[in-house]
Amino acid sequence: MSVAHPRRHTSCVLALSLSIAIGAALPSIAWAQPQGQEQQLAPPANAAEAALRTLYDTEWEWRQKEFAREKIDGRWQAAARFPSVTPQAWARRADYWAQVLTQLDAIAPGQLSREEKINAAVFRTTVEGLHNGAVWKTYEAPFNSDTFFWAGLNPRQPYQDEADWRRFIGRLDDIPRYFSEQIVNMDTGLSRGWSIPRSSVEGRDKTIEPYTRTDAENPYLAMFDRIPRSIPEPALSQLREQGRKAVLENVVPAYSGLLTFMREQYLVRARTTTGASDLPNGRAFYKTQIREFVTRDMTPRQVHDIGLAEVKRIHAEMQQVMAASGFGGTFPEFLEFLRTDPRFYAKTPQELLSYTAWIAKKVDGELKHVVGTLPRYRFTILPVPDELAPIYTSGRGGLDSCLFNTYDLPSRPLYNLPALVVHECVPGHSFQAALALEAPTRPDFRQQTYFSGYGEGWGLYTEWLGTLMGVYETPYDDFGRLTFEMWRAARLVIDTGLHEYGWSRQQAIDYLAANTALAHHDIVTEVDRYIAWPGQATAYYLGYKTIRDLRSEAERELGPTFDQRPFHDTILNLGSVPLPVLESEVRAFIAERKAGQATVAAP
């Protein structure tokens, strides 16, 4: 994740001043601590805490350097090279992480403070996942159906500093070596039957084509034409000349070689099966993936059964919303109506992007009723790059930007956008990432740790939260939200069906089409992603269900004194944590609130 330094905005200071001046007229709002002004961590209380802190600080710094990042102006950024991905490098990393886990086992948890116990749990889960991937040699299949090692290397927006451009050129010069190591790994994986299924690879070679061009259609060359004029001459001209040289002499030949390998080797030799169970020792591998993404021990059967039950429950609610819309036909006819009626589709990419921006701004006006702490860091809204759009998801959020897919507009229904915006942008992923970045008194590794169960669970929870924020203005919007909820519940059934119970690709496509109003293009794209990324799809709904269950528990225990703002702050202020940690911390929050009630009520 690219992390930029949050800047203090005058508007934020003005808003805070106004809230103080008006007093009770506005809910109390706090602003997250800007990076660089955070409080210092308290000194370790004992030898166990000192050992733990030394361990996670040392591993974090080692990990950054190992993966080609360097500390610049107090934050870790991409260096002028790519990391080594050779089998030897991964074996070295596996050995190192095994040693780290052994050292962590030697630290007595009973001697750790509450905060350090959280640090230890986050650290252990992270390192276990890293070690697991290295041992299973997942680097031999270093991409999936929509996320590739050859894409995303170009910045989403032009760099503003000369030094950033020079490091970028250094990385471009290193692409031939980096791609060569990836190709060796993929060839080894193919030889032992460890590959992305062919059905999830077909057509992905087209995403490489733009980078083989030698004209302005090459995204790298186009980026060097966007160097900002704020960089003075002669540096600006030098950067453009050096960048073009790196692209034409190193990048284009490397991508051309990769394209040849993908078409002549990978597509020909990739496995024709779809399930993780068909990989070497695949069922054991799949169980580790569920553990990694959900951050708790669950069997495929448990996940599958929860999915079936939730699909049934959501379907009943969808029927109610369909009736509220006034539609008089059957459920399949309603889905067909939603997929085909022109009123539900943007006519231009700008119309779709403008609508997403309006939704995001509308949500901004509700945040004071939802959370108590707001981040300073801002995100922007961008279209998915053209070279990725045909096989990319509808949207994806992050710290710097939210991407929305404007390719094939008849497959991008507007009634899905309210739920998509709150999930990906605010108060979902972009909002969540900014709070994690700006959180005070937290070790560096905690600021950039991400667990899918927590992060995607929060994203899906914010879709439901939109019902309390007035985001869904029509029954169609609400059906879009339920389609997204059904989509995630169906994932539990589909993911385990594919990877444990022998489902075919078409069986998964048919199941998702029968239960959601997703466009056919999105359904196929999503199923291919589940095939290529075992276990990841299970994180969303199980994380969401954890948060919904915790909210119900808080409402039940606290009664009329329940306030969703501190409840949400408790979740967000933790940063990304394993689900068992989330449960214990929210329950501690509930207990503390109840104790406070008892103290106030006492005579």
Give the DSSP letter string of 439-487: -SS--HHHHT---HHHHHHHHHHHHHHTTTTT---SHHHHHHHHHHHHH
The domain boundary, picked from 223, 250, 281, lies at 281
Q: Is residue 180 domain-shared with residue 222, that is, in the same domain?
A: yes
Q: Is position 151 within any domain?
A: yes
User: In 3D, which of 245, 261, 93 has the Cα closest to residue 179?
Assistant: 261
| CB-CB contact of 541 with 489 (8 Å) | yes
Two structure tokens written together for 240 = 């453009």
| Burial of 398: CB neighbours in 10 Å, binned 0-12, 13-18, 19+ | middle
Residue for token pair 């594919």: 498
SS3 assignment for 151-181: CCCCCCCCCCCHHHHHHHHHHHHHHHHHHHH
Give the Cα separation of 371 and 90 in Å (integer): 42
- Mean pLDDT (10-residue bins), the chain, 603 residues: 28 27 38 53 93 98 96 89 98 98 97 96 97 97 92 91 97 98 98 95 94 96 95 96 98 98 97 96 97 96 98 97 96 94 96 97 96 93 89 86 94 95 96 85 86 95 97 96 95 97 96 89 90 95 98 97 97 94 97 82 58
User: In 3D, which of 211, 230, 229 has the Cα closest to residue 221?
Assistant: 211
The total of other beta-carbon atoms located within 10 Å of residue 178's CB is 20
Q: Is position 588 within any domain?
A: no
Q: Is residue 106 domain-shared with residue 245, that is, in the same domain?
A: yes
| CB-CB contact of 127 with 104 (8 Å) | yes
Q: Is residue 242 domain-shared with residue 352, that is, in the same domain?
A: no
Residue-level pLDDT at 598: 66
β-pair type (69-72, 401-404): unpaired
Residue-level pLDDT at 518: 82
Q: Would the CA dihedral through 186, 190, 193, 198 be positive or negative? A: positive
Dihedral through CA 485, CA 487, CA 493, CA 495, nearest 10?
-120
Residue-level pLDDT at 603: 56
Q: Is residue 176 domain-shared with residue 315, that is, in the same domain?
A: no
β-pair type (380-383, 401-404): parallel
User: In 3D, which of 103, 110, 171, 112 has the Cα closest to residue 131?
Assistant: 103
Residue-level pLDDT at 4: 30
The values of phi and psi at residue 293, to 5°, are: -80, -35
User: In 3D, which of 568, 396, 543 has the Cα closest to residue 456?
Assistant: 543
Give the Cα separation of 130 and 451 in Å (integer): 12
Q: Is position 42 within any domain?
A: no
Q: Is position 522 within any domain?
A: yes
DSSP 295-348: SS---HHHHHHHHHHHHHHHHHHHHHHHHHTT--S-HHHHHHHHHH-GGGB-SS
- Domain residues for the domain of 305 are 297-545
Cis omega (within 30 of 0) for bond into 234: yes
Residue for token pair 């939704």: 359
Q: Is position 576 within any domain?
A: no
Q: Is residue 412 domain-shared with residue 488, that is, in the same domain?
A: yes
Residue-level pLDDT at 341: 96
The residues facing 69 across adjacent strands are 78
Q: Is residue 269 domain-shared with residue 326, that is, in the same domain?
A: no
Two structure tokens written together for 117 = 């116990």
Give the Cα separation of 256 and 248 in Å (integer): 11
The domain boundary, picked from 253, 281, 309, lies at 281
Q: Is position 173 within any domain?
A: yes
Residue-level pLDDT at 2: 30
The total of other beta-carbon atoms located within 10 Å of residue 30's CB is 12
Residue-level pLDDT at 20: 23
Q: Is residue 421 domain-shared with residue 460, that is, in the same domain?
A: yes
- In the chain, the largest separation of any two C-alpha atoms, in whole Å, equals 81
Q: How many residues does the chain have?
A: 603
Residue 106 in 3-state DSSP?
coil
Task: Enter the pTM of the model.
Answer: 0.86
Q: Is residue 254 domain-shared with residue 367, that is, in the same domain?
A: no
Give the Cα separation of 175 and 42 in Å (integer): 42
Residue-level pLDDT at 449: 87
Q: Is residue 104 domain-shared with residue 249, that is, in the same domain?
A: yes
Q: Is position 13 within any domain?
A: no
CA distances to 69, 289, 577, 585 from 536, in Å: 26, 7, 16, 24
Give the Cα separation of 381 and 396 in Å (integer): 10
Cis omega (within 30 of 0) for bond into 427: yes
Q: How many alpha carbons lie under 13 Å from residue 259 in its C-beta half-sphere? A: 17
Residue for token pair 């909210």: 551
Q: Is residue 229 domain-shared with residue 318, that is, in the same domain?
A: no
Two structure tokens written together for 267 = 């597509």
Q: Is position 556 within any domain?
A: no
Q: Would the CA dihedral through 236, 240, 242, 243 be positive or negative? A: positive
Q: How many separate domains does the chain show?
A: 2
Q: Is residue 398 domain-shared with residue 255, that is, in the same domain?
A: no
Q: Is residue 337 domain-shared with residue 472, that is, in the same domain?
A: yes
Residue-level pLDDT at 593: 94
